[in-house]
Each structure stands twice: as C-alpha cells, then as structure tokens.
Chain A
Amino acid sequence: MWNKKWVRITLISLAGALILGLSAYSIVLHDQNTSLKNQISAVYQRSFEELMSDMNSLQTKLYKLEAATGLNQYSMLLTDVWRQTGDTAGSLSLLPVSYAGTSALTQFINRTGDFCRSLLRKLSLGQSITQEEYDQIKKLAASCGEVIKSLQELYGKGFPQDGFSEAVFIPENDEKGTLDFSNQEFPRLQYDGPFSESTENKQPEGLGKNQVNQQQAAEIAAKFLGVDAGTLTADGECNGRIPCWEFSGNQDGRAFLISVTKQGGHILWYRKDNGGGISAIPTDQRYRELSKAAQQYLAEKGYGESAPSYAQFYNGMAIINLAPVEKDVVLYPDLIKVWIDIYTGEAVGLDANNYLMSHKPRDLKEPKLTAEAAREKVTPSLVVSSTRLALIPLETGEEKLCWEFTGKIEDRDYIIYINAETGQEEDILMIQHTNDGELVM
C-alpha cells in the first residue's frame, strides 16, 4: 500500500514538474519567437519605408532635372539619381515579394539609373540633352509618381507589418503577391547602357550562317581535340544566347567537356581536367612562356594572331586572356580565354564566348591622331612602358579605336585609352596585383 501511494505521488509530482518545465520553456520559446518576428518585420518595415522615400526622392530629382539649365546642376542631379537607384533596388530586394510581381519595378529602377548615367556620359562629352530625352525624364518622373501612389496605398493598409501574407520569390502558380507591378506600364527607354534593352537582347555576331546537327558537331569537337568522334558522349544541347551541342569524354585519362555552337559549328568553350595543382604566381619568364603557348594554341586553332593581356593563376593553371590582333590593332571586344596547365604548358581550356558574340569583319580606319599626339592627352605623370592601337568595347556597346598607353604612376600600373580619332580619354584601367594574378579594374 505504502509503496503504491508513494509511486503515485512520485509520478504525479514528476508529471507536474514536467508540465511546469515545459510551460516555462514554451513561454521562453514564444518570447524568443516574438522577438525574432519583430526583428524581421522591423527589417521589412525599414526596407519598405526606405523604398518609399527613395522613390520620392528619385521623382523629385527627375522633376528638378526638368527645371535645370546649368551643366553643374545636371551633373549633380544625374549622378544622384544614378547612385540612388542602386540603393532603391537594394531596399526592394530585401522585401518578401514575388519575382513575378516586382521584376518590372526592379527593371524600371535599374534602367532609370542606367539611363541617367548614359546622359551624364553625353554631357561629359560636351553633347546636350535632346528634347526626346527630356520627354523620357518626364515620363520617368510620372512613373515614379504612380509607384509612390501604389506604395502609399499599401502602407495605409498596414503593409508590410499587418496584412502580410509573405509572398514567395518563385511562386507556385503565377501569384504576384501584394506588391504587384506586373501590370504597370513603365516607359521604354531609348539609350545604350549595360541594362538597356539593346544590350540585354544583343545577338551574337561572330557565328556565321550554316547550321550543324549533333553528328556534325561531334565531328567538329573530335577534330578540335584530336580524338575519335565515336569516343564522345553527347550531353544534349544548351539553348542559351548562343545555342550549342555539348559533349564530354576522356583524353589521356583526363575528363573533358566541350560545347559546339549549332550555328556556324564553332567551339564555344572547352575544359579539360588538369589534375589540379597549386595556386601560385609563376615568374615573369615562365608567364611569358605560358602566354606564348596560349598564343600558339589560338593560332593553331585558326584564331590568327593574338596578344596576351592579363592572367590569373589557380589550381596549377594559368587563365590567359588574349585579344585577337588585326592590322596591328588589338581587338578587346573579341577577348578569348585560354587555360594553360602550368606544369606541362598544355592548353586545357578555351572560352570563345566574347569572340563569338562580337567578332565580325571590321572596317578598321587609320588613326587620325598619331601616337605622339595622343600621348599629349595622357597625364604626364604616367611613365609609359608600351603604346599600341586597340579597339575597345564601351559600356554603350560601341567600339572605339584608341591608342593604348600602358605604364606606371609611382608603383601603380595603369592602362589609359585615348580615342584615336577625337583625342577623348575613353577609359582608365588599373591593374591590381593579387595573390591569384592580375585583375583589371
């Protein structure tokens, strides 16, 4: 009897303690949970409020542009707009919204900034803003107004704190979420820049006409690699901007991947396992040898003469960037990457994407400016080590023939481009020496 009673008492008190403990624990959890929820919703709240104030200030600046006449005001306002759009898109990206509902707004913000940057560039070249561009600025400001109106309405309804059914970025069906700009008409901007329609829809120019089927592509790949076409495995197709057939296989016990364009039958890229290795920078002498190997490789593969520009070193490989050379002009838009195994000097990779996107017959004109005249346009503090003619791609997608001056200011390495026709300073690049090799910034 005693025993049973004691057992019962023990059990009940144990259960009681357990319940008490669990309740206490759940209260702690609940508190933590609430605190975390509050913190997250504070981030959403802040991002949304920032988005609203950013849109407001974008609109104000765009309207101010309409009123401005002085170059200094233009420059300041355009710079402000361009800088602000990056933050605005950043605020939007922190909100739990769906891609389908907001990608049009992100695009509007990005293109507005990009457009203003292109206007800044025009102004810096001494050109003026056209009536059409004024009209576009006005339309942009009006669109900002519509966006602000929608945002304010949502804010009035307690968004994003209440009424916040969290939208997912990739929806199940086509849900747009509460923040939905998919039906809003944003102005189409006519300009050239990294985010412009013309750039995003750029088509490859270096492919040629004929189409190759998978079998023909296999033969092209086999010939390129020096293997039997029968040993290749077909990996299907890739229908991106440059559609191609893909293959894989083994050569000398090393796996390789290769991709042949459907149009024109060119090698888009090729990579062979090099067996790995260390990430260290070779001596200048060894680097020259590796560059020469890369140049020879490109010549053998039919790309003609090329000039090495910069390189990185990792996993026992050097990745060397080479620009084809035509009539003594270095063609940077057609830059080709070649991977060289540092141990053996063998080419273990090729990336011809830029080449196939940009390469075309070009009418390269004689430079109007002599190298000496162009040198006068370069800062006198640059100690020039080499000079050559180069065709460079601009952000706008245009290509410009320039005199290229490579040299040093104190111990820093620069490459400066002077337009060979107008004498404009088109670009200033800095070479950064990292532990992986050179980076051109």
Chain B
Amino acid sequence: MANKLKRPLAIMLLVMLAVLLYGCVAQPAASYKLGSSGEEVKEIQRRLRDWGYYKGPVDGKYGEATRAAVIWFQKKHGLVADGIVGAQTAEKLGIPAPKSGGSVKSGGSNSDLYLLAKLVYAEARGEPYKGKVAVAAVVLNRVESSQFPDSIPKVIYQKGAFTCVDDGQINLAPDQESLDAARDAMNGWDPSGGALFYFEPNKATSKWIWSRPQIVTIGNHIFCA
C-alpha cells in the first residue's frame, strides 16, 4: 500500500521540481546583437523598416546598419541604447522573448486606461470587440455626464454601479483585447451611441432598466440612455 503510493508521489515531486527549476533557469537572456543571424533577426529588421528606423536589406544578418537602427529605436522609446535586442527591446519590438515573471504590465502613469481595461475584462470578456469598446465608452460617457461623478475611478467605484466591483472580478488582470478596447474608447470611439447604462436582457429583472430609452444592442448587452 505504502509503496504503491510512494511512486506517484515521487513522480509528482519530480515534476514540481522540474517546473520550479524551469521557472528559475529557463530564462536565458536571449539577445540579438552584432553578428547574430536568423529568422528572428529578419523579423527585427522588418519591424524596424516598417517603423522607419532601418533602410537596409531584410537579410537576417545583424550588421552595423541593424545595430544603428536598434540604437535609434531604443533612444526613441527610452530604453538603454546599447544596440542589443535584449528582453525589453524585444518586447517593444514584439519579438518573442523569454518571459520574465508576470507579463501583464500595469498601467503605470496610465492608470486610468488600466482601470478601464480591468472593468472591460470583468464586465464584457465574452462580448464581441465592439461590445467591449461600448462598455468602456459607457464609463467615459458617465464621466462626461452631469449625473455622475467626474473621473474614471469615481465612476467605476461608484457604490453599486458595476457588479464586478462587488464580486471582486474587477481585480482580475485584463487581457490585451480589453486594453485595446479601453484605449479605443479613450480615443473617442463610442459604439454605444452615448449610452449611460447597459444590461443583459435575459438576466435583467429590473423594470426600471427596461424603461430607459434603448440605443443599441451589441452581443449580449442592450445599451441605453
């Protein structure tokens, strides 16, 4: 009996150890620099060319011209201008690089955007993209409205205004699409047509919400004034 258990246990331990070790060790600072070559270098050159930094051939050879372009790119983005594509530069260039810990960036100076993205993720992650932008737009429409508080945090944390604040889902890390939707809404795109509320018709029992003038239906949400 005891022996039978020991083996799976040992295997489990080994697997756990392997996972742990992988987490610690498997982060080689994969960097591309003078002399590097290959498909990744080609991709680096292609991106640098499309963004205007690189005029040379896309040949997969990391030469002086590529190095100069990388330095220019790094300077423009406030990165260490060493001409080497390390983890940070690779991330900015969108080149697959080993992950270093948590990959989700918090908003930093752009905390409003991040908070809005969290709301979109919590409230509308199953919705079509347009519906996600519309949910973000509702928050911004409230900020602009005289009937609501005057900032994104005040509107989102208004007591009882969004269920995801009460059930804690607001604290989930948003995905890329939610960030994009929040950004599109902040850039002024409003597929909700100026709505102040939205609800799910098959779940909403409130007569009051049904009495609001409806503007548009997107995915599972009805948006209303």
Which of B4-12, B48-56, B116-124 lies at the interface with chain A?
Answer: B48-56
Nearest B-chain residue to A106, judged by Cβ: B147
Nearest B-chain residue to A109, judged by Cβ: B146
Residue B94 lies at the interface, judged by CB distance under 8 Å to chain A? yes
Interface centre among B52, B145, B188, B217 (most CB of A within 10 A): B52
Q: Given the interface contacts A269-B189, A282-B52, A353-B188, does A174 sit within 8 Å of B217 by beta carbon?
A: no
A241 touches B146 (CB 8 A): no
Which of B23-31, B59-67, B71-79, B167-175 lies at the interface with chain A?
Answer: B71-79
Q: Which residues of B contact A246 (CB under 8 A)?
A: 216
B147 touches A170 (CB 8 A): no
Per-residue 0/1 for A166-193: is the Cβ within 8 Å of any B Cβ (1 yes, 0 no)? 0111111110000000000000000000
Residue B3 lies at the interface, judged by CB distance under 8 Å to chain A? no
A168 touches B77 (CB 8 A): no
B16-60 CB contacts (< 8 Å) to partner A: 47, 50-53
Residue A351 lies at the interface, judged by CB distance under 8 Å to chain B? yes
Please measure, in the bound complex, the distance between the C-alpha atom of A241 and the C-alpha atom of B109, giving whole angstroms: 32
Q: Which residues of B contact A319 (CB under 8 A)?
A: 187
Per-residue 0/1 for B159-200: is the Cβ within 8 Å of any A Cβ (1 yes, 0 no)? 111000000000000000000100100011111111101010
Q: Given the interface contacts A107-B146, A170-B160, A351-B188, does A241 sit within 8 Å of B208 by beta carbon?
A: no
Residue A194 lies at the interface, judged by CB distance under 8 Å to chain B? yes
Residue A303 lies at the interface, judged by CB distance under 8 Å to chain B? no
How distant is A87 from chain B, measured CB to nearest CB, in Å? 10
A174 touches B47 (CB 8 A): no
B76 touches A283 (CB 8 A): yes
Nearest B-chain residue to A432, judged by Cβ: B109
Q: Which of A104, A171, A337 contacts B206 (CB 8 A)?
A: A171
Residue A314 lies at the interface, judged by CB distance under 8 Å to chain B? yes
A410-431 CB contacts (< 8 Å) to partner B: none
Q: Which of B183, B206, B209, B216 contacts A314 (CB 8 A)?
A: B183
Nearest A-chain residue to B199, judged by Cβ: A170
A277 touches B94 (CB 8 A): yes
Residue B149 lies at the interface, judged by CB distance under 8 Å to chain A? yes
B148 touches A106 (CB 8 A): yes
A278 touches B150 (CB 8 A): no
Q: Which residues of B contact A242 (CB under 8 A)?
A: 193
Q: Which residues of B contact A171 (CB under 8 A)?
A: 206, 208
Number of interface residues of A (CB under 8 A): 68
Q: Which residues of B contact A342 (CB under 8 A)?
A: 50-51
B52 touches A283 (CB 8 A): yes
Residue B99 lies at the interface, judged by CB distance under 8 Å to chain A? no
A435 touches B78 (CB 8 A): yes
Q: Which residues of B contact A200 (CB under 8 A)?
A: 145-146
A59-95 CB contacts (< 8 Å) to partner B: 86, 89-90, 92-95
Q: Given the interface contacts A238-B191, A240-B192, A315-B180, does A170 sit within 8 Å of B206 by beta carbon?
A: yes
B195 touches A240 (CB 8 A): yes
Q: Which of B51, B109, B197 contacts A434 (CB 8 A)?
A: B109
Residue B205 lies at the interface, judged by CB distance under 8 Å to chain A? yes
Residue B214 lies at the interface, judged by CB distance under 8 Å to chain A? yes
Q: Which residues of B contact A278 (CB under 8 A)?
A: 47, 92-94
Q: Given the interface contacts A237-B216, A280-B77, does A96 sit within 8 Å of B160 by beta carbon?
A: yes
Nearest A-chain residue to B145, judged by Cβ: A200
Nearest B-chain residue to A169, judged by Cβ: B160
A107 touches B187 (CB 8 A): no
Q: Given the interface contacts A170-B160, A315-B180, does A106 sit within 8 Å of B149 by beta carbon?
A: yes
Please measure, in the bound complex, the distance between the C-alpha atom of A49 and the C-alpha atom of B64, giving whole angstroms: 67
How distant is A432 from chain B, measured CB to nearest CB, in Å? 9
Please measure, in the bound complex, the distance between the C-alpha atom of A435 and the C-alpha atom of B194, giving whole angstroms: 29
A241 touches B76 (CB 8 A): no
A residues near B, CB below 8 A?
86, 89-90, 92-97, 99-100, 103-104, 106-107, 110-111, 114, 167-174, 194-195, 200, 236-244, 246, 257, 259, 269, 271, 277-287, 289, 312, 314-315, 319, 337, 342-343, 351, 353-354, 434-436
B residues near A, CB below 8 A?
47, 50-53, 72-73, 76-78, 92-94, 109-110, 130, 144-150, 154-155, 157-161, 180, 183, 187-195, 197, 199, 205-209, 213-217, 225
